[in-house]
Amino acid sequence: MPFKDPDHPLAQVDNLRRAIEAAGVALWSWNVTDDRFAMDERAFSLWGLDYGLEVKFEDLSARIHPADRDRVRDAFTATRGIVGAYEIDFRIVVREEIRWISARGLGDDTALHNGQTFGIFLDVTGRKQAEEGNELLAGEMSHRVKNLLAIATALTNMSSNSTANAKEMAVILTGRLAALGRAHDLVRPIPGDQGHSALLGDLLSILLSPYEDLGAFSGRIRVAVPRMGVGEGSATSLALVFHELATNSLKYGALSAEAGTLDLSGNSNGDDLELVWTERGGPKVTPPSGAIGYGSKLVNRSVSGQLGGTIAYDWSADGVIITIKLDGSRLAR
């Protein structure tokens, strides 16, 4: 029962328990002799176990993510030789949900009390997801910066080859870089403007316009897609995809050749949208070998994850053909 006197030692213990609950800390003790775990109710809930069950290390180990299981076993065994505090983070699987747990305690057998060692579990899922998101964002930003530098380099080289003097080159190069800037402005999310959208044809045309006059003739890039609106979320994902495809074409495909052509066509059937990217007149095409690059991963993730579609590659010797199938109803989001 609670004590009315706040200075009573047992009342202070109750307050400390409240502090532990407020911090989301789960308590455990491990009997190293018989391998039994004693845990509080929060720890049982964290592991997805019924409160009060007899629990041994292997019972918990069965719920640890397979990729982390051996590492955690080795770490817990090693804690008996560690002097002082230790901490290990790992994943567990609870009803198909992945949770991140941080286990903390004191090592070294000299720290045992009646054959038991003590520690806490913390649910650090939110922090780990934030860290993974930051790593993904940093990798994506690094990749996009490298791509933009590659595009700027290629535009500079091609502009220098097609102009007679530095002044003419500066005018043409500035125009091409400005077109890239307009494309990025078109698809940049505007805070608070939930209704912002672009037409699919306008979006794709502006994204590809900087490459239009890099060849021996005008009109080498053709865009013919159904007229439909694209929401800001989908526009950003589409921009990432086609920016990557155009970068690859400029580096290795049809847009790297004077006579190369690009045809981006589309058709719709109800809510289904199919976009076909066809390159012709460039270097001979060979399927890529080795591990998939970051750019390809970015394209695949954007199409399947953000847009809920599929992407397929046909490595024709005459030029790559890329078919993207999307749910048109999701593009307005």
* pLDDT for residue 243: 77
Chain segment 128-168, per-residue pLDDT in tens: 888 877 887 777 777 767 766 776 776 677 567 656 788 87
Q: Is the pLDDT of residue 200 over 60?
A: yes
* pLDDT for residue 261: 92
> Does 54 or 305 have the greater pLDDT score?
54
Are 238 and 330 a contacting pair, CB within 8 Å? no
Are 332 and 229 a contacting pair, CB within 8 Å? yes
Let me know if the fold of 9-123 is the same as that of 128-330. Answer: no
- Alpha-carbon span 244 to 195, nearest angstrom: 26
Give the right CATH number for 9-123 from 3.10.105.10, 3.30.1330.20, 3.40.47.10, 3.30.450.20. Answer: 3.30.450.20
What confidence tier does 190 reach under pLDDT thresholds 50, 70, 90?
very low
Q: Which fold has domain 128-330?
A: Heat Shock Protein 90 (3.30.565)
For residues 183, 257, 159 and 144, what is the CA-based torsion angle, rounded to 10 degrees?
40
What is the mean predicted confidence (pLDDT) over 201-217? 77
* pLDDT for residue 144: 66
> Phi and psi of 87, rounded to 5°?
-150, 135
- Alpha-carbon span 85 to 83, nearest angstrom: 7
Q: Is the pLDDT of residue 253 over 80?
A: yes
Please state the domain extents for the chain: 9-123, 128-330
Q: Which residues contact 295 (CB under 8 A, 6 or more apart)?
A: 143, 147, 244, 247, 248
Are 75 and 84 a contacting pair, CB within 8 Å? no
- Alpha-carbon span 47 to 99, nearest angstrom: 9
* pLDDT for residue 325: 94
* pLDDT for residue 65: 92
Identity (one letter) of the amino acid at 205? S
What confidence tier does 323 reach under pLDDT thresholds 50, 70, 90?
very high
The pLDDT > 90 percentage for the chain reads 15
Round the average pLDDT of the chain to a whole number and report it.
79
Chain segment 63-105, per-residue pLDDT in tens: 999 989 888 888 877 776 666 778 889 999 998 888 999 988 8
> Does 33 or 155 have the greater pLDDT score?
33
* pLDDT for residue 162: 56
What confidence tier does 273 reach under pLDDT thresholds 50, 70, 90?
very high
Instruction: Specify the long-range contacts of residues 90-94, CB closer than 8 Å, at least 24 apart.
Output: 90/64, 90/65, 91/64, 91/65, 91/67, 92/47, 92/48, 92/63, 92/64, 92/65, 93/63, 93/64, 93/65, 94/47, 94/48, 94/63
Are 84 and 107 a contacting pair, CB within 8 Å? yes
* DSSP assignment string, 264-289: EEEEEETTEEEEEEEEESSSPP----
3-state secondary structure of 220: coil
Q: Is the pLDDT of residue 272 over 80?
A: yes
Q: What is the pTM of this model?
A: 0.48
